[in-house]
């Protein structure tokens, strides 16, 4: 396959970005999207031009490190991560636009690499269960009904990639946050901190510059792990409950 790529290049956080057009030839449909970029980078390096910076690590769709806007779609046209997207999803001769995640709370570091540390700070605000090591009760002391365990699991699958934020017109991180609140809130172990957790996480979220949720649903459509939209309802319910309890 031969492709034309319009790629966002930006030398550093403060530098001005620009779109640059590259051509790649002989792309195999079996290549992953990132392998296609590897090929381009070898070509650039050989020609004396600095390779394009992009993030990836596991290349198996689980670490959440990769993430590109591909012709306007977070992670591209398929419901999967960028690393698991393959070139057979594109056609010969196509022009593809590649940009970094866009959100105020995810500043660009270089080219296609953004800073998602705001997610870690949201977790620090309460996305955990307080239990010291060695102080845990025997695992079977607290049974968890299978339905609850399954729902918790489904939410726990979030890989923290940030596609939900990138896809959202308001750059809201509600799906990411809803996933964590649901994961921990469904479990008996998560109950003691359930309501303080949601309040603290939401206030951190707002402080980081993420936008509010207006129920567009683009997040869930873009999410490579299929985190359902109703985790946001769970979050809102818990938040209302917490605030009314406080008041």
The residue within the footprint of other proteins, chosen from 69, 98, 125, 163 (CB under 8 A), is 125
- Out of 70, 223, 232, 242, which residue is the one contacting ligand SF4 (CB under 6 A)? 223
Q: Any contact of residue 176 with ligand SF4 (CB under 6 A)? A: yes
Q: If you ran DSSP here, which 8-state letter would residue 17 be given?
A: P
Pick the piece of the chain touching ligand SF4 (CB under 6 A) from 17-25, 103-111, 144-152, 172-180.
Answer: 172-180
Alpha-carbon separation of residue 161 from 75, 166, 187, 212 (angstroms): 10, 10, 24, 19
Site for ligand FES in 20-59 (CB under 6 A): 56-59
Query: Which lies closer to other proteins via its Cβ, residue 30 or residue 244?
Result: 30
Q: Is residue 238 classed exposed, middle or buried when 0-12, 13-18 and 19+ CB atoms within 10 A define those classes?
A: buried
**Spatial distance between the Cα atoms of 165 and 211, rounded to a whole number of angstroms:** 9
Determine the Cα–Cα distance for residues 103 and 201; give it in Å rounded to an integer: 18
Residue whose token pair is 């603290």 = 200
- Shortest distance (Å) from residue 175 CB to ligand SF4: 4
The smaller minimum CB distance to other proteins, of residues 19 and 131, is found at 131
Give the residues lining the site for ligand SF4 (CB under 6 A).
Answer: 158-164, 175-176, 179, 222-225, 227
């Amino acid at each position: 396959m031969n492709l034309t790529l319009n790629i966002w290049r930006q030398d550093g956080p403060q530098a001005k970005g620009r779109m640059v057009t590259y051509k790649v030839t002989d792309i195999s449909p079996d290549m992953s999207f990132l392998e296609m970029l590897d090929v381009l980078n070898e070509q650039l390096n050989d020609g004396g031009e600095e390779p394009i910076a992009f993030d990836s690590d596991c290349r198996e769709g689980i670490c959440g490190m990769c993430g590109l806007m591909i012709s306007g779609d977070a992670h591209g046209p398929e419901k999967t991560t960028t690393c698991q997207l393959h070139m057979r999803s594109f056609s010969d001769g196509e022009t593809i636009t590649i940009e970094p995640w866009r959100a105020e709370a995810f500043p660009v570091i270089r080219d296609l690499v953004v800073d998602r540390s705001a997610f870690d700070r949201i977790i620090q605000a309460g996305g955990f269960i307080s239990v010291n090591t060695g102080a845990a009760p025997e695992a079977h002391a607290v049974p968890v009904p299978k339905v609850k365990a399954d729902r918790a699991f489904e939410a726990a699958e979030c890989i923290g990639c940030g596609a939900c934020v990138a896809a959202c017109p308001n750059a809201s991180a509600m799906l990411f946050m809803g996933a964590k609140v649901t994961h921990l809130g469904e479990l008996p172990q998560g109950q003691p901190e359930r309501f303080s957790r949601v309040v603290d996480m939401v206030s951190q979220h707002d402080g980081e510059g993420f936008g509010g949720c207006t129920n567009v649903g683009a997040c869930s459509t873009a999410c490579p792990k299929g985190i359902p939209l109703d985790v946001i309802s769970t979050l809102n319910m818990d938040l209302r409950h917490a605030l009314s309890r406080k008041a």
